[in-house]
Amino acid sequence: MENKLTEEQYHILREKGTELPFTGKYLQNKKKGKYMCAACGASLFSSETKFDSHCGWPSFFAAEGNVKLKKDVSHGMKRIEVLCKKCDGHLGHVFDDGPKPTGKRFCINSLSLEFNGDKK
């Protein structure tokens, strides 16, 4: 079931946009919980894998099973796009400069996410 997206969320998730660095609402979020797709609600990332990469977007060293990767050669660059496996929503990109144990940095737009905090 598709959630109602704001104009900004639609631009990111459906038109492959990018939010400005250091502006996302989840960049500094330190709470425990799950990050879900803002469009369809699929569980994408755990707070346990979030780290501060100083790149300007929320970063994770691992994803849950609801993401897929796709070659992206837009804007004259060679990158790997991160998509929601359930609804094909654009989330961000993944790079090979993250911490152990994976060495990955999933660089994700806050607008593509909804946070579901642990109930404690």
- Among the listed residues 37, 84, 87, 107, the single catalytic one is 107
List own/partner pairs for 89-95 with CB under 8 A and 24 or more apart: 89/13, 89/14, 89/37, 89/38, 89/39, 89/40, 90/12, 90/13, 90/14, 90/15, 90/16, 90/17, 91/13, 91/37, 91/44, 91/67, 92/18, 92/57, 94/69
Token pair for residue 17? Answer: 């946009």
Question: Could you confirm whether 55 is annotated as catalytic?
Answer: no
Show which residues are catalytic.
Answer: 107
